[in-house]
Amino acid sequence: MSYEEKGVWAYLLSSAGAYIVYLVIVVPRLFHTPAAHVPYLVPLIMSTIASVIIATLVRSALEVARPSDSHKADVRDREIARFGEHASRWCVVGGATVGLIGAFDRWDYFWIANAIYLGFVLWAVVGSVLRLVAYRRGL
């Protein structure tokens, strides 16, 4: 597994993991508090920061377990990265569109922010999965 592929695994695991933790913290609050009053901002920012830290730690752990020959991305890594980002960009577009519709329709900030956040998470997860498939099955 190349250094770049390890980075994709780390990004996938940290993005998905941080979002699951965010949901575990925020969703139960919705059961007894109106969405407009649910404190989501701190968990959202913290999960985003945590995902970056976890990605770095996971990548370092993978590198210690199985050191890579090279730490430089090559032409194939760059093509695969471009492919993943291009194919998954619709997740961000979708999240932003739902957020925009929510703003037009005067939704609570909670739902608008979470629609956009979900778009970013899906972009990270779908893009990572597509990149891993490209690494394994070919581009």
> Does the protein bind another protein through residue 5 (CB under 8 A)?
yes
Alpha helices in 1-139 (DSSP H): 3-30, 41-65, 75-104, 109-137
Q: Which residue has the tokens 């394994």?
A: 136
> Does the protein bind another protein through residue 2 (CB under 8 A)?
yes
> Does the protein bind another protein through residue 1 (CB under 8 A)?
yes
Residue among 75, 104, 105, 106 that touches another protein (CB under 8 A) = 75
Amino acid, res. 48: T
Q: Closest by alpha carbon to 46, among 115, 117, 96? A: 117
Which one, 61 or 139, has the nearer CB to another protein?
Answer: 139
Within 10 angstroms of residue 78's Cβ, the number of other Cβ atoms is: 11
Residue among 64, 67, 69, 106 that touches another protein (CB under 8 A) = 69
Q: Closest by alpha carbon to 26, among 13, 37, 16, 14? A: 37
Which one, 3 or 120, has the nearer CB to another protein?
Answer: 3
Residue among 27, 28, 74, 109 that touches another protein (CB under 8 A) = 74
> Does the protein bind another protein through residue 137 (CB under 8 A)?
yes
Binding residues for another protein, total number by CB under 8 A = 17
Query: Shortest approach of another protein to residue 48 CB, angstroms?
Result: 30
Residue pair 139/83 in contact (Cβ under 8 Å)? The answer is: yes
Which one, 20 or 74, has the nearer CB to another protein?
Answer: 74
Cα–Cα dist 82/29, whole Å: 38
List interacting residues with another protein (CB under 8 A).
1-5, 68-70, 72, 74-77, 135, 137-139
